[in-house]
Copies of this chain bind each other. A is one copy, B any other.
Amino acid sequence: MSARKTNLGSFFEDFAVGQVLQHATPRTITAGDVAVYNSLYGPRFAVQSSDEFARAVGYPRAPVDDLIVFHTVFGKTVADISLNAIANLGYAECRFLAPVYPGDTLRAASEVIGLRETSNRASGVVYVRSSGRNQKGETVLEYIRWVMVRKRDPLAPAPAPVLPTLAPRVEPAALGTAVPQLAMAGYNFALAGAPHRWGDYAEGEKIDHADAMTLEEAEHQTATRLYQNTAKVHFNLNEQAQGQFKRRLVYGGVVISLARALSFNGLANAFHIAAINGGRHVAPCFGGDTVYAWSHVLEAAELPGRSDIGALRVRLIAVKNRSCAAFPLNDALGGYQAGVILDLDLWLLLPR
């Protein structure tokens, strides 16, 4: 009889620390992907929107949105890592290392760097370091994420737990390799949409991004398929209807991209995401939800050796179905308030 041909995904027992996975489906990113992304989120950052603006500040042409790169690489890891995931638990040490342009081809690989069975023995947490490389072999993106994955058999022996040490944040000295030396004389703040430079933001400052978008089922499905991410929880209502949520779950990356696009209003010149220090998909998001966002500036840091750009460490919070005028985050018990769906810790780069 022929071997099984379908991929049912890996279970917790299938992973081993040190295992390296070459993910399938390399992808050439094109202007088409950029247009579809724009139509889904409407981001307005000028560097990515206009070849002319990008060239004027020092890029050879407009780079693609950093999150297109992130979702593309992430999408390639799903088939090998998270088909049987219960929850995507977190991110760390995510660095955007090099710009990506239309015509570049990305492939992804992951190394298993940690494993820990959960106390109920029905699942375990898998830690991976994933990377995306372009056709020249350059690493454009690296990140660590950890996922709760089902076990095939709860009675299967637990592996010795290995927990990686995760840096709480990427060091400023490691930021900015994806940004060429900016020709500041060419940086037109009127065309960029706001006059605010790196130095105009204060540590502790909170910004309600004001705008919001109601997400439709077709939109989140389309957004997720764009990256060839076919995890069934996003697509199969017939099956989801039998489960806990009754509805299709929105891919967390859709919420990240929505929040990033909304954050233009208040952070118009934060043209580059240099790193993601951490992130939690706090609560699920569904079609019909209206997503709002606000940002908390945690830290301002110079980049050693760079006088053109500075870094802001920003906590980007996405909230559903309520305004962010009161900057909703934690409740009295230290948990998250109702409606908070994303808590992301970013390093953003702005012109100085």
Kindly state whether residue A307 has any CB partner on chain B within 8 Å.
no
Question: Which residues of chain A from 100 to 141 have a CB within 8 Å of any chain B CB?
Answer: 102-103, 105, 107, 135
Nearest chain B CB to A175 CB, angstrom units: 21
The yes or no answer to A244 lying at the interface (CB within 8 A) is: no
Q: How near does chain B come to A229, taking the closest CB pair, in angstroms?
A: 7
Q: How far is the CA of A70 from the CA of B50 in the complex (A)?
A: 17
Residues of chain B within 8 A (CB-CB) of A170 are none
A21 smallest CB distance to B (angstroms): 9
B62 touches A28 (CB 8 A): yes
Candidates B200, B219, B226, B232; contact of A2 at CB < 8 Å: B200
- What 6 A-B pairs have minimum CB-CB distances, sorted nearest first? A32-B35, A24-B193, A42-B225, A238-B290, A218-B218, A26-B50
The CA-CA distance from A40 to B39 in the complex, in Å, is 11
- Count, chain A residues at interface, CB 8 A: 86
- Chain B residues with CB below 8 A from A214, complex form: 217, 221, 235-238, 248
A225 to B216, CA, bound (A): 14
Known: A221-B219, A232-B212. A27 touches B50 (CB 8 A): yes
CB of A342 within 8 Å of the partner chain: no
In the bound complex, residues from chain B placing their C-beta under 8 Å from that of A34 are 30, 32
Q: Once the chains bind, are B31 and A49 in contact (CB under 8 Å)?
A: no
Answer whether residue A245 sits at the interface, using C-beta atoms and an 8 A cutoff: no
Number of copies: 3
Q: With A39-B222, A216-B218, A226-B35 in contact, do A44 and B25 touch (Cβ < 8 Å)? A: yes
Q: Does A202 contact B (CB under 8 A)?
A: yes
Q: Which residues of B contact A239 (CB under 8 A)?
A: 212, 290
What are the residues of chain B within 8 A of A218 when measuring CB–CB?
216-219, 222
Residues of B within 8 A of A32 (CB): 30-36
Chain B positions within 8 Å of A226 at CB level = 35, 38-39, 42
Q: Are B219 and A222 in contact, CB atoms less than 8 angstroms apart?
A: yes
Which of A88-96, A142-150, A158-166, A260-268 has 4 or more CB atoms under 8 Å from chain B? A260-268
**Residues from chain B with Cβ under 8 Å of A248 in the complex:** 214
User: How far, in angstroms, from A202 to B209 measured CA to CA in the complex?
Assistant: 53
Binds B, one of A5-13, A176-184, A278-286, A330-338: A5-13
Given A31-B31, A31-B32, do A229 and B42 touch, yes or no (CB 8 Å)?
Answer: yes
- Whether, in the assembled complex, A210 has its beta carbon less than 8 Å from a beta carbon of chain B, the answer is yes
Binary interface encoding of chain A residues 48-79 relative to chain B, with 1 for a CB under 8 A from any of its CBs, else 0: 01111100000000100000000000000001
Q: How far is the CA of A230 from the CA of B51 in the complex (A)?
A: 21
